[in-house]
Every structure is written in structure tokens, then in C-alpha cells.
Amino acid sequence: MNRRLSDATIRSTVRELLAAQAQVSGRRLRRVLRERFGAVGKTQRVFQIWREESSREESWSPAAAPVPPWVAPDVAELQNRVAVAELTAAETLARAERAEYREQAHQDKWATEIDRLRQQLRAQESLLRENRMLRARVTELSREVMVAQAGGA
């Protein structure tokens, strides 16, 4: 899935707009995203993030603030960015671990399949040798029968 705008980028833009203005519409968010990043993102995803962040902003109270009120706004912004970066890193790590697991499962599957085919090939080779020996024995016995018939007639 090609996402030109990450969830973290959209969230930080929504938070920035909400910090500057109490009410931000979804259309305004999409317009700002297009201006800043040249892309808007999928409507459903952008509006879902917008709703989450807007409701979080509405339910915000100084008692629920993650940083004390005496922290400078730029420090709070940096703390928010660190939190977003940590979340993004955790998501990326989880995605990489899932990809590694899928790759290992893929390798195991094909190693098992190759082993099964090799065993099948070995079995066919032994059957071919046995077939050759039986044909040679049939040919030898056919000669003996012909000799016995010629000698008895």
C-alpha cells in the first residue's frame, strides 16, 4: 500500500491546526495537506484521523495534559514529536518483524517442498534401475526359453 502521507504526518498537521485554531474542518485539513505535502491522502483515512484528533482535543483538560503546564510550548511540541516518532518506530519495527516472520515461513515452505521433490526423484531413480534389471532378466529368460524350445523340437 503506497501511502505518501503517513498517519503521523496527518496527526501532527491536525494537532498543529488545532493548536492555532480551536475549530478545524476536515476540508481545511485536506487543503493544508495538499499545500504542504502535495498530497491529500485517502479521504476516509484522513477524516478518521481528523475525528480522533478533534475528539482528543475537545476532551483535553489541563488535568489530563501529558506535560505540566509550566513546560514551554516548544518543549511540549518536541515531546509530542518524540512520542510520535517512538510510535512510528514501534509500528515500523512490528511491520519489519511480521515481514521477517513471513519470509521465514516462505523459506521453510519451499525448503520442505524442494526436499520432498528430491526424495521423489531418488525414488524414481531406484525404480528406473529396478525396471532395467527386470527387463534384462526378462530378455535373458526369453532367450533361454527360445533355446529350450529349439533344442527340444
> What would the 3-class secondary structure string for 35-84 be?
HHHCCCCCHHHHHHHHHHHHHHHHCCCHHHCCCCCCCCHHHHHHHHHHHH
Question: What residues does each domain of the chain span?
Answer: 1-60
For the question of whether the overall pTM of this predicted structure is more than 0.75, the answer is: no
Q: Confidence band (pLDDT; 50, 70, 90) for 53?
A: confident
Lowest mean pLDDT among 40-49, 55-64, 136-145: 55-64
